[in-house]
Amino acid sequence: MPAGPGLIRAGTRAVLATMHGKERVIAPILREAFDLDVVLAPGLDTDAFGTFTREIDRPGTQAETARLKAQAGLSADPLAAIGIASEGSFFAHPHIPFVPMAREIVILLERPGGLEIAGIDEGIDTNYGHVVATSIETAMAFANASGFPAHGLVVMGTSEGQPDPRLLLRKDIDDADTLADAIGQAIRLGGAAHVETDMRAHRNPTRMAAIARATHDLVQRIRSRCPLCDRPGFAAVGRIAGLPCRVCGVPTRQTVATRMGCSGCGHEVIVHRTDVATADPATCDVCNP
């Protein structure tokens, strides 16, 4: 494939900040796209930038934390021209009750040129969840529904119904007997066990697949260049609502166009949707108040 822009060319050394196996999906994609020489950041403890199990808080937003990781990788490897890191976030769906969402960011930083591009994957394809169980049977039912043992689980103690990793924290559980032992220990200590999906990439194949999709998005963004200044990373910076309802014609909250923008020169282009001309009346506040 043709080389990427700037320093993103064949043989360029890129340092990846991870201690949870993300190189298994990120490195092959970037190697195939740009022939980057992706190496791991030596001795970098990425848990210092926050843990899903609450021992360490994230130092900033999702994007800020990914950037800090990539910068730490560059600091750890002076020979690397590019720093790469990812960060995941999991939260309740803003419109569908009780449905979890996941967002993955894979960021690329160019050391000398200051180029920063991030690939994103967002959707409901996640096994993110938890249960507070007062019996082993309830906890094991949750484990089976979460894809255990292929997908990892974390068991914590509870205090006043809330997860308390200071009371008990068990990770890297990979068999039913060890899981049952951890659940029983938590129940004995606090009356209930907080059992949640392990969202670390190396223990969560569903999340690893999302990281791969975000990396593919990163590749596409690198290849998308500003029509004005030719800077890579020309990408969506906002959406414009107003797709008309198919029945009554009133503008809905559905996207009618996307604003594409350049982080370098600030040039923007409005791209109208071509896949659909009208919105489903189920999304219309007039037809479906």
For the stretch 10-58, pLDDT in tens is 899 999 999 999 999 999 999 999 999 999 999 999 999 999 998 999 9
**Domain shared by 103 and 206, yes or no:** yes
**Domain shared by 33 and 176, yes or no:** no
CB atoms within 10 A of CB 15: 28
Beta bridge partners of 84: 16, 108
Mean pLDDT over 235-257 rounds to 95
The pLDDT of residue 203 is 97
What is the share, in percent, of the chain residues with pLDDT greater than 90? 87
Torsion region of 21: left, alpha or beta (phi above 0 gives left; psi -120 to 50 gives alpha)? left
Domain for residue 22, yes or no? yes
pLDDT in tens, 174-204: 899 999 999 999 999 999 999 999 999 999 9
Domain for residue 218, yes or no? yes
**Domain shared by 79 and 206, yes or no:** yes
Domain for residue 1, yes or no? no
The pLDDT of residue 6 is 55
**Domain shared by 213 and 182, yes or no:** no
Domain for residue 100, yes or no? yes
**Domain shared by 190 and 206, yes or no:** no
**Domain shared by 21 and 164, yes or no:** no
244 pLDDT higher than 90: yes
**Domain shared by 207 and 180, yes or no:** no
The pLDDT of residue 70 is 97
Domain for residue 230, yes or no? no
1 pLDDT higher than 50: no
**Domain shared by 78 and 217, yes or no:** yes
Please report which confidence band the pLDDT of residue 2 belongs to, taking 50, 70 and 90 as the band edges: very low
Domain for residue 193, yes or no? yes
What is the share, in percent, of the chain residues with pLDDT greater than 70? 98
Q: Round to whole Å and give the CA distance between 19 and 68.
A: 15
Domain for residue 33, yes or no? yes
Across the beta sheet with 116-123, the strand order is 37-40, 13-17, 82-92, 100-110, 116-123
pLDDT in tens, 65-120: 999 999 999 999 999 999 999 999 999 888 788 899 999 999 999 987 788 999 99
**Domain shared by 107 and 245, yes or no:** no
**Domain shared by 75 and 151, yes or no:** no
**Domain shared by 183 and 214, yes or no:** no
Please report which confidence band the pLDDT of residue 4 belongs to, taking 50, 70 and 90 as the band edges: very low
The pLDDT of residue 3 is 40
Of 1-10, 12-21, 246-255, which range is least confident? 1-10
First to last CA, the chain: 50
Beta bridge partners of 119: 106
The pLDDT of residue 95 is 77
Domain for residue 7, yes or no? no
Specify the number of domains making up the chain: 3
Of 125-134, 211-220, 230-239, which range is least confident? 230-239
Structural domain boundaries, residue 138: 130-198
Q: Round to whole Å and give the CA distance between 208 and 204.
A: 6
Contact 256, 240 (CB under 8 A): yes
**Domain shared by 206 and 176, yes or no:** no
Q: Round to whole Å and give the CA distance between 169 and 181.
A: 12
